[in-house]
Amino acid sequence: MKYNILVSVIIPIYNAENYISRCIESILNQSLTSFEVILINDGSTDNSDEICNAYASQDERLKVINIENHGPGYARNIGLQNAKGKYIQYTDSDDTLPVNYLEAMVQRIEDEKSDLVICGIKNLKNNNKVDILTVQEEMNIHKKPIIELFVSLLEKGLAYSPCNKLYRNEIIQNNNIQFGTNFKLGEDAIFNISYIKQSKSFSFEDSVFYEYHQNDGSLIRSYLHNKFEIQTILYENLKKLVKEVTSINSNESMYLYYQYEFTFVFINYYLPDCPMNSSERKKMINTMIQDDTVQEIYKMRNTRSNLQKMIRMLVRIKSVTIMDMFLRTFRRRYL
């Protein structure tokens, strides 16, 4: 399969008029110039479409595709259908890439002939650095089986995002790998798990970082009615992958990561915009606590944070009343 373009950068866009210019500019300023930018306008109701078209009229490497609103997973799939690059990179519309990002990632994947390159993430707020998630530790243990490496990245927040990675388009197309579209959360995980099944090796790049810009109103801070269902499905998918690819029956990092994720699942039903009444919340908590998957995840002892330790204890003793009291207190104090 021959490609005339090295990298296809796919950007799903929904009401991003306040930051899409910043995102596009960071890509146009890349030191590597053999790329295309596929801008998927996912039913925006602001001026995002006009801004994107203005850039596209000035640079033929930019292509704008307008679709009805279906969410980022669906938009990324549309981008894949139109991608002509040898490699695929995903950028979110409110984020940015350092000037040598694409060059460094392409050089790494070609030098090491790997199927996937993963870099760290720099978290920014108001353009100021909040923290940095690095891959240096993984670079020192890269001879581990790839699924073990992937699981070790979970707790660092580097596993499921597609944005800090460079993929081979040929692997995606030959195996019809797509993003999930049934949920508002977790479509990235489904894509990465499917891709890893077809991968033989990873590379890690520590000279560049994907620049994630923190904004208010993220899905993490908003109530999601099926969040429990989503996280359960994601956990079961990862567990199945681990069993398929390695002889590992359990993994400490996997359990601890999902204890972290399920902390936010419990909190989800106590967010200010959750429509449940007290009785409905208790019923939901009881369903979760009694669930076999939740009990399995919380078997592993957790010393990571007082919040996670408290929730683990309440899950293990299956106390709906105390869990409800604790989460209502947490809501009043922190939410």
Looking at the structure, tell me whether residues 150 and 29 fall in a common domain: yes
Q: What is the pLDDT of residue 218?
A: 46
Q: Are residues 142 and 211 in the same domain?
A: yes
Q: Closest Cα to residue 330, out of 312, 316, 303, 311? A: 311
User: Which range of residues forms the domain containing residue 258?
Assistant: 221-334
CATH number, domain with residue 44? 3.90.550.10
**What pLDDT was estimated at residue 217?**
47
Instruction: Identify whether residues 10 and 94 lie together within a single domain.
Output: yes
Please indicate, yes or no, whether residues 63 and 115 belong to a single structural domain of this protein: yes
**Same domain flag for 197 and 261:** no
Same domain, 209 and 254: no
Mean pLDDT of residues grouped by 10 in the chain (335 residues)? 89 96 98 98 97 97 96 94 97 97 98 95 85 82 69 82 97 94 73 89 93 68 86 84 62 82 93 94 96 94 88 95 94 82
Quick one: 245 and 200 in the same domain? no
Residues 313 and 287 in one domain: yes
* Distance of alpha carbon 38 from alpha carbon 26, whole angstroms: 14
258 with 208, same domain: the answer is no
Q: Given 159, 191, 215, which residue is the final one in a domain?
A: 215
Q: Are the beta carbons of 90 and 72 closer than 8 angstroms?
A: no
Domain co-membership, 186 together with 42: yes
Boundary-marking domain end, from 215, 230, 259: 215
Q: How many beta carbons lie within 10 A of that of residue 17, not counting itself?
A: 17
Domains: count for the chain: 2
This prediction has a pTM of 0.84
DSSP bridge partners of 120: 209
Asked which of 215, 240, 264 is the last residue of a domain, the reply is: 215
| Shared-domain flag, residues 177 and 324 | no
Whether residue 146 is found in the same domain as residue 225 = no
